[in-house]
Chains A and B, each alone.
Chain A
Amino acid sequence: MRKLLPFLKNYKMQSILAPFFKMLEAMMDLLVPLVVAAIIDRGIAEGDRPFILGRFAFLLLLAALGLAFSISAQWMAARASVGVASDVRRALFDHIQRFSYTDLDKVGTDTLITRMTSDVNQVQNGINMALRLLLRSPFIVFGSMIMAFTIDVRCALIFVVAIPVLGVIVFGIMVVSIPLFKKTQEALDRLLGITRENLTGVRVIRAFCKEKEEIDEFDRQNQALTKLNEFVGRLSALMNPLTYVLINIATIFLIRQGALRVNMGAIRQGDVVALYNYMAQMIVELIKLASLIITINKGLACADRVSVVLDEKPGMEFPGSTVGEKRKSTGTVPAVRFDHVSFGYANAGADAVDDIDFTVQKGQTIGIIGGTGSGKSTVVNLIPRFYDATEGKVLVDGIDVKDYPEGSLIQKIGIVPQKAVLFEGTIRDNLKWGNEDASDEELMEAVELAQAKEVVEGKRGGLSAMIEQNGRNFSGGQRQRLTIARALVKKPEILILDDSASALDMATDQRLRTAIRGLSFNPTVFIVSQRASGIRDADMILVLDDGHIAGSGTHEQLMKDCETYREIYYSQFPEERKEAAL
């Protein structure tokens, strides 16, 4: 929460004025019983009609003032709470843009989305309610007591006793039940999880005849939730009757005391009515305060969660812009060099890749092949410094990737990720991710190279055709080709294709590879693939097995020396195994 306080500072005036106006409004409310008492004690008792009319007008004035004050307060509160929420959202978004891949893995994008949407909304709600009511309710409660003191000290002492007792009950019940509410929410989440499992896994459950077990498990959680709910319910069921009976007992003492004081001539009948009214006003506010605190508590919990994200320091440090100034790579400096690199993902047991060491010259094409989880993607993710090597060094153009200023390394590199993600907008908008200033001709050139010409031309509007959310109006293969085009628009010095032709048929894949080989800007190319056919023509093939390099070299060399490569190859070309065996 402390992290979010500075955001309120931008709305200092509103944050102070909102509760202030609310207090003014409350003050109007507090004056009403006094006016009524005056009507009874002076107006009625002395038959003073003009006086009564005057007081009536005063009551109307109080109502009008109350309305004015409270509308001002609502406006201030709306401005401040919405303002803070907007600023927090903006800060969150900008902050997330600075996260490294490790940070993203750690926090999880789903979590981040929830933080930015529903959590921030809850914070807004909490602030809004707090500004409006947090001060008003205690003010009325204690105001009532003070007003009682102005009427009669003896009677007011009953307030002094009643307020703390009521407070203890209301807040005591709340303090006990809030953590229990959290628990019931968890129990409900578990039940929801089981229901979902039952539905998504229905075939497996039925295939293994587990219907009964699943129902039993559901019943168990269902019963646990019911028990918990009833328990919490029993606690909160006490709140209303307890406060109700107490406030009435207090009122009884009050009227009894009032009777004595009136009899002594210390106060008058109207004063008793006023005291009675103050007592009634107080209980309403106490109950309001209790429900308000639940809202605020929710808001605080959300604020905490948002703070955690803002507190998350972007894990990557970058040098100032002067270090590692662009040095044009020459033939002598290797384009990419891995110097005994090891890397393990945070929270994972073993290293994902271990002691990776290789050198790539400018313009070479590198194939990376290996089984599921062998570390192929990890290796290419280290080149643009999505992750920092835990051991060893990665050098691009002879410079340690850690010495590039923020954002300058990524300019050299074009990436086609495994998951072909497109964004809502036109095809043009999407391709321009690679280069904002690219002309339509340049875009079409990239599209053609990516074998995506038919995709673009097949859609109404060509480059202006709309892509729906997540690119769902395009097939997997079409999406993949467009993401390749997107990377080519950038004309990168290093092009990385991370298993990005998996949805293409063999012929298109072949044409694509030929096109990439002939690229005019002659990039260094990394191709990650599960298919041996996809990389067999590479200048160098890295064979990864369980995070290690099992072999490197050309296809012919590897067929000769590398058992793992041979195994992979023959698993895909079994006919050739037979021929080789002959």
Chain B
Amino acid sequence: MKKNNSKAGGSSMQTLKKVMSVIGHYRILLILSIVLAGLSVVLQLYIPVVFGNAIDGIIAAGKVDFELVSTHLFKALILAASAAAAIWVMNMINNRLAYNTVRDIRSRAIRNIQALPLSYLDAHSSGDIVQRVIADTDQLSDGLLLGFTQLFSGVITIFVTIGFMFSRSVWITLTVIVLTPVSFLVARFIASRTFKMFQKQTQIRGKQTALINEMVGNEKIVKAFGYESRASERFHVLNEDLRKSSEMAVFFSSITNPSTRAVNNVIYALVALLGAWFIMAGNLTVGGLSALLAYANQYMKPFNDISSVVTELQNAMACAARVFELIEQEPETPEADRVMERADGKVDIQNVYFSYDKSKKLIEDFSLHAEPGMRIAIVGPTGSGKTTLINLLMRFYDTDSGTISIDDERIDEVTRHSLRSNFGMVLQETWLKNATVRENIAIGKPDATDEEIIAAAKEAHSWEFIRRMPDRLDTIVTDDSMSQGQKQLLCITRVMLCLPPMLILDEATSSIDTRTEIQIQNAFDKLMKGRTSFIVAHRLSTIRNADVILVLKDGKVIEQGNHEELLKKNGFYSELYNSQWKNSAA
């Protein structure tokens, strides 16, 4: 996995501190886990010594010291039982620690996501943020918490093993310590060879995946052009390449284990040989040899564990840094605590300046006054700032300077919720929850009855297709169960249901065919009566009836007035309007 760890490098101590602060009241558990890890390692390593001692009591026929054997075996039983208990409790603690930390971090993350300014969310892909909340958090808990205890017990294992071995035989232990690096060298040698093969495999696999995505992803077009056999040919060539490189990569990566095991076996044989010599010289017992052989067998394991844990830890640090970057992101400016009542819909925008990127000017010195019930249409080319205006009205973004007031109340002096509940919004980009049709429509009015919902759906012309869905209002909405136009109709239904005092329609009918659009338009007309409405549209026919049309260009209002006035002006609007008319009549 590639992770962005450029930031994690320098500040990993800081990150670790932050992780510790999250663990907070689980700190006692963490300490307990470490203590138990140490305890269980010592106990587990001591047991071979005890068995060795017992074996020393079994010398030959008629020369068995049963009392000695029994004492040691009883000791072993106690030790094994205590070790098992320690492992068990440690496992439970680790579980609790890991899962609860993850839960806490995720719950902090989601809270911050809902409090973050949209500028942050707009600037980061949702995939990236999901990755942080889900995968990175998992990695953090696995790597950081469990890795930490593993690292700890690995280090203890090595020292205790060496200690026990020394207590049996100094020379044999030294031999083992000297020979150990050979096994590392072998592993390193193979790993460096394997890396190149894996790179090549990854590269070819990437190409193949791209081809699969293209061809299978567009299989209908492949079929429409009878391209099937040509696609297969291209695939087969890549598939053969992949087979060759995979074979090598899989093979070479799988010889690491046998090779280090072989080195280990040689060490084992040496221990047996030296042990035999020492026993004959009277410096070692048979039980001692049996313990040494048992250690020699497991001696490599903690080394391998530690090296894999270290990479895991680095990875986890990088993930932790990414998670904290999200959690610690500055939330939106704090709220005023005044609540805006249901507004009449008088809107005043005064000398507003705003831009997303402070180096590029967008909206400059923008002013507008709208009486309750007025219909304001906003037209202009792409990038002229139409949607930005809506972002400001809803306070998704705050103005750089200047004020926006509704019913003479500045919108930054009331709570965001009370402001937003005064608006009904339909956007070009339709968003539906993965829930039932009913839940999706009733999002603004959760206590609506089915009758109300159906009435709203009829009004918005969505009932025709809802009626035909398998479970009607109870049908679960999935991404591809509806056409774009149908999704947009559902979003309109939402607003039809909750009837807020002001409306924002941002390209609300862009995916709906013209005939249905006209029918909805009638419903909209009814809805807009007495409601201050802001309408953004490409199709000029939909805005002809507006009281005020704002023509935006490069963030500035270049023309303002109603349809007839603007046409008479013979300016940008009339050009825009006439070009469309001319074209569609062609």
* Mask: chain A, 384-422; 1 = CB below 8 Å from B; 0 = not: 101000000000000000000001001100010100010
Which residues of chain A come closer than 8 Å to B294, judged between CB atoms?
277, 280
Q: Are A222 and B103 in contact (CB under 8 A)?
A: yes
Query: What bracket does the count of chain B residues touching chain A fall in?
Result: 35 or more
CA gap between A202 and B433 in the complex, in Å: 11
Query: Which single member of B80, B251, B265, B290 contacts A75 (CB below 8 Å)?
Result: B251
Q: Are B55 and A78 in contact (CB under 8 A)?
A: no
Q: Are B64 and A222 in contact (CB under 8 A)?
A: no
CA gap between A433 and B215 in the complex, in Å: 12
Which residues of chain A come closer than 8 Å to B61, judged between CB atoms?
262-265
Q: Are A245 and B84 in contact (CB under 8 A)?
A: yes
Whether a CB of chain B sits under 8 angstroms from the CB of A241 is yes
Q: Which A residues between 330 and 360 are near B, CB-CB below 8 angstroms?
A: 349-350
* Smallest beta-carbon distance A201→chain B, Å: 4
Q: Are A204 and B431 in contact (CB under 8 A)?
A: yes
Which residues of chain A come closer than 8 Å to B283, judged between CB atoms?
none
Q: Are B73 and A207 in contact (CB under 8 A)?
A: no
Q: Are B272 and A56 in contact (CB under 8 A)?
A: yes
**Given A96-B219, A128-B250, A195-B134: A244 in contact with B83 (beta carbons within 8 A):** yes
Q: Are A276 and B290 in contact (CB under 8 A)?
A: yes
* Smallest beta-carbon distance B406→chain A, Å: 15
Interface centre among A53, A74, A77, A530 (most CB of B within 10 A): A74
CA gap between A259 and B65 in the complex, in Å: 9
Flag the segment in B14-22, B514-522, B550-558 that touches A: B514-522
Q: Which B residues between 107 and 130 are near A, CB-CB below 8 angstroms?
A: 107, 110-111, 113-115, 118, 121, 126, 129-130
Interface centre among B81, B111, B290 (most CB of A within 10 A): B290
Q: Which A residues between 98 and 155 are near B, CB-CB below 8 angstroms?
A: 98-99, 101, 104, 109-110, 112-113, 116-117, 124, 128, 132
* Smallest beta-carbon distance A451→chain B, Å: 15
Flag the segment in B90-98, B148-156, B162-170 that touches A: B90-98
Whether a CB of chain A sits under 8 angstroms from the CB of B538 is no
CA gap between A372 and B465 in the complex, in Å: 11
Q: Are A417 and B224 in contact (CB under 8 A)?
A: yes
* Mask: chain A, 180-195; 1 = CB below 8 Å from B; 0 = not: 0000000010011101
**Given A117-B209, A195-B110, A349-B470: A258 in contact with B58 (beta carbons within 8 A):** yes
Whether a CB of chain A sits under 8 angstroms from the CB of B328 is no
**Given A195-B133, A506-B586: A252 in contact with B77 (beta carbons within 8 A):** yes
Which residues of chain A come closer than 8 Å to B6, judged between CB atoms?
none
Q: Are A436 and B230 in contact (CB under 8 A)?
A: yes
Q: Are A195 and B130 in contact (CB under 8 A)?
A: yes
Which residues of chain A come closer than 8 Å to B515, judged between CB atoms?
371, 564, 567-568, 571
Whether a CB of chain B sits under 8 angstroms from the CB of A249 is yes
CA gap between A530 and B509 in the complex, in Å: 14
Q: Which A residues between 240 and 271 are near B, CB-CB below 8 angstroms?
A: 240-242, 244-245, 248-249, 251-252, 255-256, 258-260, 262-265, 268-270
Whether a CB of chain A sits under 8 angstroms from the CB of B410 is no
Q: Are A252 and B87 in contact (CB under 8 A)?
A: no
**Given A63-B262, A64-B262: A202 in contact with B118 (beta carbons within 8 A):** yes
CA gap between A112 and B99 in the complex, in Å: 33
Whether a CB of chain B sits under 8 angstroms from the CB of A560 is no
Query: Which single member of A39, A255, A373, A386 contacts B69 (CB below 8 Å)?
Result: A255
Q: Are B517 and A571 in contact (CB under 8 A)?
A: yes
| Nearest B residue (CB) for A274 | B290
Query: Which single member of A25, A97, A256 contacts B222 (CB below 8 Å)?
Result: A97
Whether a CB of chain A sits under 8 angstroms from the CB of B333 is no
Which residues of chain A come closer than 8 Å to B517, judged between CB atoms?
571
Which residues of chain A come closer than 8 Å to B483, judged between CB atoms?
372-373
* Smallest beta-carbon distance B17→chain A, Å: 24
CA gap between A436 and B233 in the complex, in Å: 14
Query: Which single member of B63, B92, B243, B261 contacts A86 (CB below 8 Å)?
Result: B243
* Smallest beta-carbon distance A441→chain B, Å: 21
Q: Which B residues between 539 and 586 are near A, CB-CB below 8 angstroms?
A: 541, 581-586
Which residues of chain B come closer than 8 Å to A171, judged between CB atoms?
none
Q: Which A residues between 473 and 521 are near B, CB-CB below 8 angstroms?
A: 486, 490, 505-507, 510
Which residues of chain A come closer than 8 Å to B174, judged between CB atoms?
none
Whether a CB of chain A sits under 8 angstroms from the CB of B402 is no
CA gap between A418 and B66 in the complex, in Å: 89
CA gap between A8 and B199 in the complex, in Å: 27
Whether a CB of chain A sits under 8 angstroms from the CB of B182 is no
Whether a CB of chain B sits under 8 angstroms from the CB of A298 is no
Whether a CB of chain A sits under 8 angstroms from the CB of B27 is no
Which residues of chain B come closer than 8 Å to A241, judged between CB atoms?
83-85, 87-88, 91
CA gap between A74 and B255 in the complex, in Å: 7
* Mask: chain A, 20-36; 1 = CB below 8 Å from B; 0 = not: 00000100000010011
Whether a CB of chain A sits under 8 angstroms from the CB of B200 is no
Q: Are A251 and B58 in contact (CB under 8 A)?
A: no
**Given A202-B121, A211-B114, A259-B57: A112 in contact with B251 (beta carbons within 8 A):** no
Query: Which single member of A97, A104, A242 contacts B231 (CB below 8 Å)?
Result: A97
**Given A201-B431, A248-B80, A372-B486: A272 in contact with B584 (beta carbons within 8 A):** no
Flag the segment in B234-242, B312-320, B372-380, B529-537 that touches A: B234-242
Q: Are B258 and A104 in contact (CB under 8 A)?
A: no
Which residues of chain B come closer than 8 Å to A574, judged between CB atoms?
541
Which residues of chain B come closer than 8 Å to A219, judged between CB atoms?
107, 110
Whether a CB of chain A sits under 8 angstroms from the CB of B434 is yes
Which residues of chain B come closer than 8 Å to A248, judged between CB atoms?
47, 76-77, 80
Whether a CB of chain B sits under 8 angstroms from the CB of A573 is yes
Q: Are A567 and B279 in contact (CB under 8 A)?
A: no
* Mask: chain A, 154-197; 1 = CB below 8 Å from B; 0 = not: 00000000000000000000000000000000001001110111
Which residues of chain B come closer than 8 Å to A101, judged between CB atoms?
220, 223
Q: Are B289 and A40 in contact (CB under 8 A)?
A: yes
* Smallest beta-carbon distance B369→chain A, Å: 24
CA gap between A270 and B87 in the complex, in Å: 32
CA gap between A259 and B51 in the complex, in Å: 12
**Given A66-B262, A572-B514, A572-B584: A197 in contact with B224 (beta carbons within 8 A):** no
Q: Are A469 and B210 in contact (CB under 8 A)?
A: yes
Q: Are B217 and A270 in contact (CB under 8 A)?
A: no
* Smallest beta-carbon distance B319→chain A, Å: 16
CA gap between A44 and B134 in the complex, in Å: 60
* Smallest beta-carbon distance A360→chain B, Å: 19
Whether a CB of chain B sits under 8 angstroms from the CB of A465 is no
Q: Are A433 and B219 in contact (CB under 8 A)?
A: no
| Nearest A residue (CB) for B332 | A206
Query: Which single member of B91, B130, B270, B585 contacts A237 (CB below 8 Å)?
Result: B91
| Nearest A residue (CB) for B92 | A237
Q: Are A568 and B514 in contact (CB under 8 A)?
A: yes
**Given A199-B126, A207-B420: A36 in contact with B110 (beta carbons within 8 A):** no
CA gap between A568 and B218 in the complex, in Å: 32
Whether a CB of chain B sits under 8 angstroms from the CB of A229 is yes
Whether a CB of chain A sits under 8 angstroms from the CB of B349 is no
Whether a CB of chain A sits under 8 angstroms from the CB of B468 is yes
Whether a CB of chain A sits under 8 angstroms from the CB of B266 is yes
| Nearest B residue (CB) for A226 | B103
* Smallest beta-carbon distance A121→chain B, Å: 9
Which residues of chain A come closer than 8 Å to B133, judged between CB atoms?
195
Q: Are B228 and A530 in contact (CB under 8 A)?
A: no
* Smallest beta-carbon distance A249→chain B, Å: 7
Whether a CB of chain B sits under 8 angstroms from the CB of A453 is no
Which residues of chain B come closer than 8 Å to A507, judged between CB atoms?
583, 586
Which residues of chain B come closer than 8 Å to A259, judged between CB atoms?
54, 57-58, 64, 66, 69
Whether a CB of chain A sits under 8 angstroms from the CB of B485 is yes
Task: Please give me the 7 A-B residue pairs with the lowest Cβ-Cβ distance, nearest first.
Answer: A506-B583, A265-B61, A237-B91, A248-B80, A233-B95, A59-B269, A63-B265
A to B CB contacts below 8 Å, 16 in the list: A52-B277, A74-B258, A78-B251, A85-B246, A90-B239, A202-B118, A219-B107, A226-B103, A234-B92, A241-B87, A244-B80, A248-B47, A259-B66, A263-B62, A433-B225, A571-B518
Apart from A64-B262, A93-B216, list 5 A-B contacts with CB within 8 A: A79-B251, A245-B84, A262-B60, A262-B61, A417-B221
